[in-house]
Structure 1
């Protein structure tokens, strides 16, 4: 599933093709994604895209008439193609531009979304309750420590909660906890302020480096030009069950937490 680095990589990749260009046509081939594509998405037609921003895992296309919200779901990707290129199976919508290019959305599982917001998009029902961005000022160990008090949920589930902090999905939660030396099974309320300081630092470090690498390609994610992300080559614990820890050589353990797999080193993470 595309996580924050993959979404940010996509945003950066497609922005030069969209900024300052007019959306000539919105071509919807599949009107029912995770939610039905709203009729008012047609308001994008004839609009100049002023900028692309990101909030959590949503890409926001800002125009004078409103803001288009795109979510990549579990298997979605956006690519820049020639507008007249024949669509493949699972190519669900195109934003056709005045340049002759199109932004094409591909999603085999149809868990993504194309939505519309008028007014402040950050007040949209899907965005207004989200936690802070992990790469922004204000996200630090003190914030995590204060929000974690008296919480019995595991620290891994805590940092994956989008109401606490956005964009820390399963891949990067595993990797950040490993670098911070924190056992993912620990109750969030039992982690000290000092250790949360380290964890906030490793979350920021992991996400920043993953963006520089173009994200992580596991099964479905590719960048806007179709090329893979290379952070997979840097993974220390994720999907490495029984392989030696890169620090202590002890086998990496794998457990299930909240219906998701967790990988960690029983020696290095305490």
Structure 2
């Protein structure tokens, strides 16, 4: 075989002796730079997480999850009211966002393929997906808080729903597009209407991915602070059942307490930040497990 013939050596790896020294140096420099950047990111993120764990564990007390947040300069107290307020607003927000996102994603994937209306909706959804959350908070403030004349948990829940909706729309559309077309065609061949095929075949085939999108949206809004500053605000007492007035919540509580000069408030802020981090980490792990289970099937 003629080694000088380029066709004879096609498909075979070049030996190190045949690679120019300048290319070997560039390759090593790129490997070192990539490794160094990865190590730097791990060190920074690891140090932040370690500091959060160390400082957050200091504030763990028996009354942390049972007592409401204390007043300025007070000792003791907990974050139970802030946890409950966050759970209520997050639950309402995800309940509002889920059906809207599911139906919109289904329209984009099943009914609007190739249509200009679907392209416009998809473009607007992408814009909303990347919009700063503080702008959404200002929008809901103008839409609800000013006309109502008071901050409320309802306004906070609507702001969180607006943030969660585009995540669910995008995930639902992507998961439904992954369903093989022959599955739809088989249902249509049996005489089933399109809506029945979607409900009984397409949704069922993509259920794991859709649930994953909902979990990711839940993790996305669990730690949002900016929109709640303009909608729900915060207070140090238990909120009313009508959710009117300032509603205690973890993100705004952490923001306000961390900036305060009171050591007790700062300690509660660290504990609240640790709790949110663990919650979001748990939701992310659950989402990955769901995706892994879907791929295994």
Q: Structure 2 length as normaliser, TM-score?
A: 0.24
Structure with higher strand content: 1
Greater Rg over alpha carbons, structure? 2
Q: Structure 1 length as normaliser, TM-score?
A: 0.25
Structure with higher helix content: 2
